[in-house]
Each structure stands twice: as C-alpha cells, then as structure tokens.
Amino acid sequence: MVGDLCEPMSDVAIIGGGPAGLMAAEVLSTAGLAVTVHDRMPSLGRKFLMAGRGGLNLTHSEDLDAFIGRYGSRAEILAPWLEAFSPIDLIVWAEGLGQETFIGSSGRVFPKALKASPLLRAWLARLVGRGVEFRLRHEWTGWNAAGDLTFQGGETVRPRATILALGGASWPKLGSDGGWTALLAGTEIAPLAPANGGFKVAWSEVFREGFAGTPLKALALTFDGRTVRGEVMLTATGIEGGAVYAMSALLRDAISATGSAMLQVDLRPAMPAQRLEARLAAAGPGQTVTNVLRKAGLNPAEIGLLREAGHVPKEPASLARRIKSVPIRLTGPQPIARAISTAGGVAFASLDENLMLCERPGVFVAGEMLDWEAPTGGYLLQACFSTGVAAARGVLARLQAA
C-alpha cells in the first residue's frame, strides 16, 4: 500500500531472494508466520543458479571444527550459527527436498543432479505451499520517516520484523550490487572488497596475446609462507583460478598494505629440484634454453611465463631453481564485479547476538551482507544458509517476546 494507507502486509518482510533470504523464509513460514520476500530482479536465486552451473557445491564434509576454521578471523563469531545449522543439517534439508547428495573426492558435497535448478524449483514450490509471497521487480529504497520500508514506485510496507539479505557486490548483473550500503546510515560497514577473485599482472603485449585464456595445471603458489596447489588461468589482465582464489584474502590484504605482492609459482611442485636439474642437464650441450625447457616437458605457456619473469638462466641448477620459483608481481585485485564473492559488509559490532541491527530494532541481517569471507568449497553457501536460519530464529525470538 502507499503512503498513509500503509498496513502490515505480512509478519516479516525479507529483502533479497537468494539462499540466505529464502532459508529465512523457510524457517519463518514453517513457524506459521506470514512472510513476503521482496527482490528487485525478475526471478529468484539468480546467483545461486549461476553457482550451480559448474556443479552446485552446497557444503563440505570435513570435521566441523576444521570447517569453522575456514572462516579465518570470523570463525569464532560464526561458530554458533554454523553449529546450529551445520553441514549435516544442510544435507538433510536438501535431501528433504528430494535432492540426494554425494561427497566428491575433495570432500565437497554436491546434489546428485549437479545443478541448482532442481533444488531451487522444489524449494520455491514448498515455500509457496507454506504461504510465502514473492514480490519480484520490487526494489527496496530504505525507510521513510515513520519507519516503514519503502520501495521504488512509492509503495511502503510496515512488517512486524524485517530481514535484509541483499548479498555482496560481486556478479552485480545477477542482483547483488552492494547498493544497500548507502541505505544503512548509522550502521558500521566494513568496505566491500573482492573475495575469491583474480589479480592484475602487467603482462607484456607478446605474452598477453599469446597466452591469455590458457590454463596452467598442477602448480604450487607460495606467498608469505603459505603454499597452495592447484590450477591457474592466465587472462589478458592477470591470473585467476582455484589456487589463486584460495589465497585471495592474503594477497588482497598484502597489496592493500604495500601496493603489490610478489607471488612465487612452482611449475613442477611434484618434482624435486635435483631431479628437475638432472632432466634439464640431460638435454645435452649446445641446445637453446627453449629446446632444453621443451625437452624437460614445459609447455609454451610455462616457457612464456619464465621469460616474463626476466632473465632465464642456462645453467641447469639455476634454471631448475627458477622453474621451482617463478616470481609474478600482482599489482591489484580484479574488480569486485568479477569476484566470486565479497569481503566486508555489516560489522558484527553493529548487531546483537541474533543478527539484529542495534540501531534499527526489528531489522535483522543475513548472508553475504555480513562482514565475513570464506574460500570456495561449500563454505560460502553454508554460511549464507546458516546465517539465514540464525536471523529467522532471531525474528521468532523477538516476536514471541513481544
């Protein structure tokens, strides 16, 4: 309704139709409350669906203590909510929607369908059956002087409680653009930053034109005493890939502090330096460095990367050391829009133990809006689901006490 005619249209308004918002709607509607989910996009769960294109990684099967540790400096804060709605709880929930799961070789948990769409369809059908109302193309614009929620076009809503689950700022075309930061005046918000994203490298034109889009597999990346094995994708502007994402927080923070970060790349982590030296020496005298490297099994992109790093030594021992530690200077993170997820967000100091904003009683926050980050591997979705449950339970406690 509009203006002075505003009436409560539901017990709870949820702003944002991603995993955190929909999970909150599940908890609240199961408890018998009238729930309306508002989303500015024409359909729900767009980023969730995109995440499922490569096989929907719901959560991880590792020990819960180790799982919680993946959230770094926010592990202690998130622990109660991750324990209250754990990876096991998430698996049971998904299978309750008819989506059987399995554990992959890496310990990651996937639905057997390996897609998000069957799960989302079953989930939305259940929510509709429980009376949840969805208002699409419904962009939230803040609050008016009376404290009502306002929406583009002039509509206002006066629920008994509100849950904000608007996501971060990555993949903005799918709905989460971080614009909500301007609407939370008085709330402490850590600056939004890219997480699980790539980094910029000032490649030469020759290297960029020759190798952009080339994957480098079975590498080891080392920075500041930490080493991660995995794949790297060479791009026109830098590097991406799973191994890079696993170190993104460390690299991003180092670049923020000093302006750049020198990453060391081991092109043959499974081969000891002495064995590699022997292989290089076996190429025989009179060979060009390029021929020696080819005979040692390096591909053109790896050879190009060695040359990008500067002088390539000919002596086998020195060349082996360089192959085991190729320096790449990272000059900055790729734009937040290209990142898989977002760091920063609403500071936990601005929230009570039930995820309610201290400055706005009755307004709760869940999902990627909160100031936490985690690596890929099921940790991102799990925290969104778990904080969605926590915010909904906070709403229930508040309304029951009223």
With residue 368 as reference, give the H or E element that holds it: none
Q: For a pLDDT cut of 90, what percent of the chain falls above it?
A: 93
For residues 346 and 358, what is the distance between their CA atoms, to the nearest angstrom?
11
Which residue in 366, 367, 368, 364 sits closest to 396, CA to CA? 364
pLDDT (tens digit, 9 = 90+) per residue, 64-113?
999 999 999 999 999 999 999 999 999 999 999 999 999 999 999 999 99
Model confidence at 358, in pLDDT bands (50, 70, 90)? very high
Determine the distance from the C-alpha atom of residue 321 to the mean position of all C-alpha atoms in its chain, rounded to a whole number. 35
This prediction's pTM? 0.92
Model confidence at 9, in pLDDT bands (50, 70, 90)? low
DSSP state of 315: S
Model confidence at 2, in pLDDT bands (50, 70, 90)? very low
Q: What is the rounded average pLDDT of the residues 360-380?
A: 97
**At residue 378, what is the residue type?**
G
pLDDT (tens digit, 9 = 90+) per residue, 264-282?
999 999 999 999 999 999 9
Q: For a pLDDT cut of 70, what percent of the chain falls above it?
A: 98
Model confidence at 7, in pLDDT bands (50, 70, 90)? very low
For domain 199-333, give its CATH number from 2.40.30.10, 3.40.50.300, 3.40.1050.10, 2.60.34.10. Answer: 2.40.30.10
Mean pLDDT is lowest, of 194-208, 244-258, 276-290, for: 276-290
For residues 357 and 204, what is the distance between their CA atoms, to the nearest angstrom?
49
Determine the distance from the C-alpha atom of residue 9 to the mean position of all C-alpha atoms in its chain, rounded to a whole number. 33
- Residue 55: pLDDT over 90: no
CA angle 332, 341, 50 (to 5 degrees): 125
Is the distance from CB of 344 to CB of 376 less than 8 angstroms? no
**At residue 308, what is the residue type?**
E
For residues 235 and 197, what is the distance between their CA atoms, to the nearest angstrom?
12
| Count of CB atoms situated within 10 Å of the CB of 138 | 19
For residues 345 and 189, what is the distance between their CA atoms, to the nearest angstrom?
5
Query: What residue segments make up the domains of the chain, in order of their start?
Result: 3-195+337-401, 199-333
For residues 277 and 315, what is the distance between their CA atoms, to the nearest angstrom?
9
- Residue 161: pLDDT over 50: yes
DSSP state of 175: T
Model confidence at 283, in pLDDT bands (50, 70, 90)? confident
Is the distance from CB of 213 to CB of 235 less than 8 angstroms? yes
- Residue 5: pLDDT over 50: no
For residues 82 and 75, what is the distance between their CA atoms, to the nearest angstrom?
9
For residues 200 and 222, what is the distance between their CA atoms, to the nearest angstrom?
17
Is the distance from CB of 120 to CB of 44 less than 8 angstroms? yes
Q: What fold is seen in the domain 3-195+337-401?
A: FAD/NAD(P)-binding domain (3.50.50)
Model confidence at 51, in pLDDT bands (50, 70, 90)? confident
Model confidence at 384, in pLDDT bands (50, 70, 90)? very high
Q: Look at phi and psi of residue 143 and say left if phi exceeds 0, alpha if psi is from -120 to 50, else beta.
A: beta
pLDDT (tens digit, 9 = 90+) per residue, 200-228?
999 999 999 999 999 999 999 999 999 99
Mean pLDDT of the chain: 95
- Residue 30: pLDDT over 70: yes
For residues 147 and 134, what is the distance between their CA atoms, to the nearest angstrom?
22
Model confidence at 3, in pLDDT bands (50, 70, 90)? very low
- Residue 35: pLDDT over 70: yes
